């Protein structure tokens, strides 16, 4: 009797066009709590498992040739969760960063954090800045983690910074346009995502990259984040490659 082996999908599946892959993919990692609850486990176990999923997705981006990935790890609204869960997440981020830094270096990953980082626990901030500095020159997958991130908050802080420069006479009102505005966002220098994947079936942006996702294709899967894998990414990419991206213009008919 032959045992059926799971398909590992290390290389890019042959039905995907390597020339039409998203150059930047963003993920809303939703459903960790439900994943744990369904197994009678505490919610935090879902987050713990979610880290492994994210790690594999990052490797998959490298294997399949997707140069940039952004993950929504903690929103400005997530502070409203039970204190125990918030504290667990902060400790988890710190632990994962400390544990994975060497591997990220070995795998040539560049990590960046976007969000209001100043209010995060100081020990987490140290790990964040250390990992950003150490990996700054890495040229592999560009990995961005949105932590204490809120799209509206990001836009407001950009407006304030621009207004301040106008007030100080460093900028004129006529200098303000879309490309200048982008330079004041946390994501300065990072191209906008082409594809947003959200797990667990919710059809919301949840305040994620409101400016940057203006023209992104959105793919929602019912799969809960800890169960997300390369097979589901494969489906998402097939679906993405069937779409015609018009950017507000008229299509090919
Ligand atoms: C949403 O699921 C998930 C989060 C708020 C946390 C996601 C964080 C990780 C997977 C860890 C990433 C780690 C690093 C270092 C980047 P939920 O709890 O809202 O799920 P639910 O909707 O089922 O309750």
**Tens-place pLDDT, residues 43-54:** 999 999 999 999
Which residues in 106-120 are b (16+ Cβ under 10 Å) and which e?
A: eeebbbbbbbebeeb
When pLDDT is averaged across residues 150-167 and rounded to a whole number, the result is 98
> From the CB of 150, is ligand 1 less than 6 Å away?
no
Q: Which pLDDT value is given to residue 244?
A: 78
232/253 Cα distance (integer angstroms): 30
Identify the CATH class of 23-150+192-241.
alpha beta
Q: Look at residue 10 in the predicted model and tell me its pLDDT.
A: 79
Predicted local distance difference test score (pLDDT) of residue 4: 53
Distance 116 CA to ligand 1 centre (A): 18
Q: Which residue has the tokens 């930047």?
A: 24
Q: What is the pLDDT of residue 115?
A: 98
**pLDDT band at residue 123, thresholds of 50, 70 and 90?**
very high
Cβ–ligand 1 distance for 93 under 6 Å, the answer yes
- What spacing in Å lies between the alpha carbon of 228 and ligand 1's midpoint? 13
Rounded mean pLDDT, 190-216: 97
Asked which of 8-22, 92-106, 185-199 is least confident by mean pLDDT, the reply is 8-22
Q: 68 pLDDT band (50/70/90 cuts)?
A: very high
Burial of 22 (0-12, 13-18, 19+ CB in 10 A): buried
| 138 catalytic residue (yes or no) | no
Residue nearest to atom 3 of ligand 1 (CA): 30
Q: Indicate if ligand 1 lies below 6 Å from the C-beta of 54.
A: yes
Strand locations in 123-176, DSSP E?
A: 142-149
117: phi > 0 → left, psi -120 to 50 → alpha, else beta; which?
alpha
CA-to-CA separations, 224 to 34, 62, 127, 211, in angstroms, rounded? 8, 23, 28, 26
For residue 232, which of 242, 241, 243, 219 has the smallest C-alpha distance?
219
CA 114/CA 182 separation, integer angstroms: 14
Answer whether residue 24 shows pLDDT above 90. yes
Q: Does the annotation mark 78 as catalytic?
A: yes
* Residue 90 CB contacts under 8 Å (≥ 6 apart), including other chains: 120, 121, 124
What pTM does this model have? Answer: 0.93
Catalytic residue among 17, 19, 32, 78: 78
- Residue ranges covered by each domain of the chain: 23-150+192-241
């Amino acid at each position: 009797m032959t045992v059926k082996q799971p398909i590992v999908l290390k290389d890019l599946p042959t039905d995907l066009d390597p020339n039409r892959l998203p150059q930047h993919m963003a993920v809303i990692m939703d459903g960790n709590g439900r994943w744990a609850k369904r197994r009678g486990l505490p919610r935090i176990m879902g987050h713990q498992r979610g880290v492994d999923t994210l790690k594999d997705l990052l490797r998959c981006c490298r294997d399949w040739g997707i140069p940039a990935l952004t993950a929504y790890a903690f929103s400005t609204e997530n502070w409203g969760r039970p204190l125990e869960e918030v504290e667990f997440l902060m400790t988890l981020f710190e632990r994962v960063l400390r544990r994975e830094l060497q591997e990220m270096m070995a795998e040539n990953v560049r990590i960046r954090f976007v969000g209001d980082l100043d209010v995060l626990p100081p020990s987490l901030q140290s790990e964040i800045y250390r990992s950003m500095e150490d990996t700054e020159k890495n040229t592999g997958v560009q990995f961005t983690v949105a932590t204490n991130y809120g799209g509206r908050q990001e836009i407001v802080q950009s407006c304030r910074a621009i207004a301040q420069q106008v007030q100080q006479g460093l900028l004129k009102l006529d200098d303000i346009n879309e490309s200048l505005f982008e330079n004041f966002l946390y994501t300065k220098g990072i191209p906008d995502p082409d594809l947003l994947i959200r797990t667990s079936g919710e059809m919301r942006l949840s305040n994620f990259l409101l400016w940057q996702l203006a023209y992104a294709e959105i793919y929602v899967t019912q799969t809960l984040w800890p169960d997300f894998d390369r097979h589901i990414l494969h489906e998402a990419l097939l679906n993405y490659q069937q779409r015609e991206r018009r950017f507000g213009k008229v299509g090919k008919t």
